Every structure is written in C-alpha cells, then in structure tokens.
C-alpha cells in the first residue's frame, strides 16, 4: 500500500493564481458514498488516489433510509439491474466487515431484518400480486401472507392490511454511518481528500487529465472518475457527448424516534404502495424509525414541504397507526441521481481517461459494495467486469449518436 501524495503545491505549473498538483493515479470527483467507495477501493489496490468534494461524506446518503431492497423494489423491465442489485446485496455482509476493520467504525447498521411489503386495498393487493408473480419468475424468494399473518409478524400493522409479501432477503444499513465509515476508510487507506468543489474537467489532446477546483487548484490524474451523484451532469468541460444524462429526483424523508418503552415497534422494514405512492418504514436498532420517501421531479429543489410531510405521515399512518405517538425528530429532502433507464452508469466514457460511477437512482446504498469492486477493477486493469458491462455509459452515447444520425 502506498502512502498518499501530500503537499499538493509541489510541482506547481498552473496558470496565474492557481496551483497544479503533481499527478495522482486516480482522481475521484464527488465524495458521496459512491465516490468514497471508489476512492477507498482504488487506494486499497495501491493506486495513488485523490478525492475532491466540498463536504465529503454528505450527499444523498445523509437522507436515504438505507433499504437494501433488490427484491421488493423490483420493476418490470429491470431484470438486468436485478442481477447487479442481488450481487451487491450478497456482498454486503463481507463488505460491512471489511469496512468496519478498515475504518474503525464498528457498526454501519447493517441489519439482516427482512422486509414486509403490504397491501391496504384491492388495488394495492393486485399490484402486490403482480410483483409477487414477477419475483417468482425471476426465481426470487418471496412469500405471500394473509393480512392476519402479516399482523402476526408485525403486530403494529393496521387491521386494514389485506395481505403482503414476506421477503426475508431485503435488509438495511444506516447510510450515515456507511458514509462516515467510508470517509474514515479512505483516510486510513491514504486517499487525499480535497475539500473543494470540482469546477471544470481539464482535457488535453482529447483526453481527461484532471480537474480545476473552485479554489483555483488544478489536480492532474491519469484516470478521472466522475461520481458526483445528481450533480454529475453539470460539470463544465465535459464534452456534451459524454456528459452523463443524470437528473435530480427529490425524495423527502422523515425520522421519528421510538422510545424504549415502545420497542420493538417494528422488527423489519414495512412498505407499501398507497394510492400509487411508495411509503416505507425502516426501523433501526437504535430506535430511529425512518419514513420515506416522496419522488418528485422538481430539479434542484430540496425544500421540505408541508404536503410532502403530510403525505408521508398520512400513508405511514394508514399502515402503522401507532406512529402518531412517536416524536418526529427530523425532516429532510435529498436528490437521487436518476438516469434514463433507472440504472447506474459504470465504466469508461468515450473520452479517454474519464470514467463514470453515477446514476444509481434508488439503489445507491444497495450498490455501494459492488460499485467499489467494479470501479477498482476497471481502474487497476482497464477492463470493466462482465457484470457491469450492461451499465456502460456508452449505452447512452450510442443511442444519442443514432438519434442524431
């Protein structure tokens, strides 16, 4: 393992008022969980790695509930993504242990608790039956339960629950602890963290060569990874044909607190589609109960609205009436990095030297372990692993070129 490159002022050849670092092997733009895991795994493979972010460890992970919901969030037409999601879910126990050892953060809240997806009315029930059929066609473990069986598992459920799917393989992790652990692991592995925003991608001779930060510093690297979540489509200097088609999808999330006297309030994640909106309740071992999430196409807006909070509480209350007794401790909104096909963009772009790890949409927390693995393999060998090939960013550049032809 190398030690990190320190003293980035050395070798300055930048333009007036700026500083140019000596080059690293890898420069990661973005310090959310995807950027952090990429940097950590790259450094573990011996690559001199720099990560740039004004607030590393922040981003969507500070809002996300942390469901690892490969099976309960399955959608028609997303069977290829399912393979990636399942592979990452399977990686989680070992990944959590490795991360604990590397970071000193003993517990990232990985909890193998399972999930119960329930239905309140005839439409919900039909929707859940369709989901069950799709899950079975995909060979997934999911058991249909009557309303009574659901309440036997989770006594706080409303009497109106008419049935549900028991999915024992969909677990949870605490994304805030995950982010903190990844940041500590990066620091431990010698990743140089630059607390500034990437302002412009630097290119030379049709190749990405680094980035200029908003403090005027220029960082050079052999390989650049753009992993800036929903901001990934906005970096200046990225040629239009490789700019990732990523957009922000707002999610409002509530945090409640379950007093000890009420425990166990819920023993597993409970979720439903109520009047067409997803609602989920994720109980943590420390008493936190996370309720999410809205899904809103409102650009960069992160306002918590009365309507958003109302709808989440209304729908959650229909599932679990007892939530109205609990202290409401936090309301927050974050931005998922949505992509045109709801799947991530992983791998090299048509601009040599520039890779993407973005567009994880609803699956960023779930896909963190696998993203770290595939990006590290790409960065060390130059080859994108087989499992990630369907998610190459080039699937969009090709389509665009054809539509312009």
Residue 251 binding ligand GLY, by CB under 6 A: yes
Residue 61 binding ligand GLY, by CB under 6 A: no
Rounded to 5 degrees, φ, ψ at 92 are -55, -45
Q: Which helix (H) or strand (E) holds 223?
A: strand 218-226
The contact mask relative to ligand GLY for 298-337 (x = CB under 6 A, - = no) is --------------------------------------x-
Point out which span in 33-41, 67-75, 163-171, 205-213 binds ligand GLY (CB under 6 A). 67-75
The number of angstroms, rounded, from the C-alpha of 372 to the middle of its chain's C-alpha atoms is 12
Closest distance of CB 405 from ligand GLY, Å: 35
> Of the two residues 292 and 347, which places its CB atom closer to ligand GLY in the complex?
292
> Of the two residues 117 and 293, which places its CB atom closer to ligand GLY in the complex?
293
Residue partners of 328: CB distance under 8 A and separation at least 6: 254, 255, 256
CA distance 205 to 201: 13
Closest distance of CB 196 from ligand GLY, Å: 29
Residue partners of 403: CB distance under 8 A and separation at least 6: none
How many residues make contact with ligand GLY (CB under 6 A)?
8
CB atoms under 10 Å from CB of 143, counted, come to: 12
- DSSP helix/strand/coil, 305: coil
The number of angstroms, rounded, from the C-alpha of 116 to the middle of its chain's C-alpha atoms is 22
Residue 362 binding ligand GLY, by CB under 6 A: yes
Point out which span in 65-73, 155-163, 187-195, 313-321 binds ligand GLY (CB under 6 A). 65-73
Closest distance of CB 334 from ligand GLY, Å: 9
* Residue 323 burial class via C-beta count within 10 angstroms: exposed 0-12, middle 13-18, buried 19 and up: buried
Among 293, 351, 356, 376, binds ligand GLY (CB under 6 A): 293
Closest distance of CB 282 from ligand GLY, Å: 9
CA distance 332 to 289: 14
Residue 292 binding ligand GLY, by CB under 6 A: yes
Site residues for ligand GLY per CB under 6 A: 67, 69, 73, 251, 292-293, 336, 362
């Amino acid at each position: 393992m190398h030690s990190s490159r320190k003293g980035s002022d050395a070798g300055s050849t930048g333009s007036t008022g700026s500083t140019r670092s000596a080059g690293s092997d890898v420069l990661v733009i973005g310090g959310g969980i995807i950027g952090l895991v990429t940097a950590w795994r790259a450094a573990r493979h011996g690559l001199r790695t720099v990560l740039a972010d004004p607030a590393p460890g922040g981003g969507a992970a500070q809002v996300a509930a942390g469901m690892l919901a490969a099976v309960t969030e399955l959608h028609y037409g997303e069977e290829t993504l399912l393979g990636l999601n399942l592979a990452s879910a399977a990686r989680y126990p070992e990944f959590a242990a490795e991360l604990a050892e590397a970071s000193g953060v003993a517990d990232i809240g990985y909890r193998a608790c399972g999930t119960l997806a329930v239905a309140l009315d005839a439409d919900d029930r039909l929707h859940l039956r369709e989901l069950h059929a799709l899950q079975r066609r995909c060979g997934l473990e999911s058991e249909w339960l009557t309303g009574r069986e659901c309440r036997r598992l989770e006594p706080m459920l409303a009497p109106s629950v008419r049935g549900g799917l028991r999915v024992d393989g969909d677990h949870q992790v605490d994304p805030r602890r995950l982010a903190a652990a990844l940041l500590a692991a990066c620091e431990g592995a010698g990743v140089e963290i630059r607390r500034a925003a990437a302002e412009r991608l630097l290119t030379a001779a049709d190749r990405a060569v680094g980035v200029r930060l908003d403090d005027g510093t220029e960082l050079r690297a052999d390989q650049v990874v753009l992993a800036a979540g929903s901001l990934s489509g906005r970096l200046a200097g990225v040629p239009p044909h490789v700019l990732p088609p990523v957009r922000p999808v707002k999610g409002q999330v509530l945090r409640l607190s379950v007093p000890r006297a009420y425990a166990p309030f819920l023993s597993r994640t409970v979720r439903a589609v109520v009047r067409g909106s997803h609602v989920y309740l994720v109980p943590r071992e420390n008493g936190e109960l996370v309720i999410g999430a809205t899904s809103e196409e409102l650009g960069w807006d992160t306002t918590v609205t009365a309507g958003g909070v109302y709808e989440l509480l209304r729908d959650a209350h229909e599932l679990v009436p007892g939530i109205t007794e609990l202290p409401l401790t936090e309301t927050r909104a974050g931005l998922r990095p949505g992509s045109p096909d709801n799947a991530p963009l992983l791998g090299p772009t048509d601009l040599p030297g520039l890779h993407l790890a973005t567009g994880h949409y609803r699956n960023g927390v779930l896909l963190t372990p696998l993203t770290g693995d595939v990006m590290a393999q790409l960065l060390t060998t130059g080859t994108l692993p087989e499992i990630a090939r369907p998610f190459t960013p080039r699937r969009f550049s090709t389509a665009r070129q054809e539509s312009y032809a």
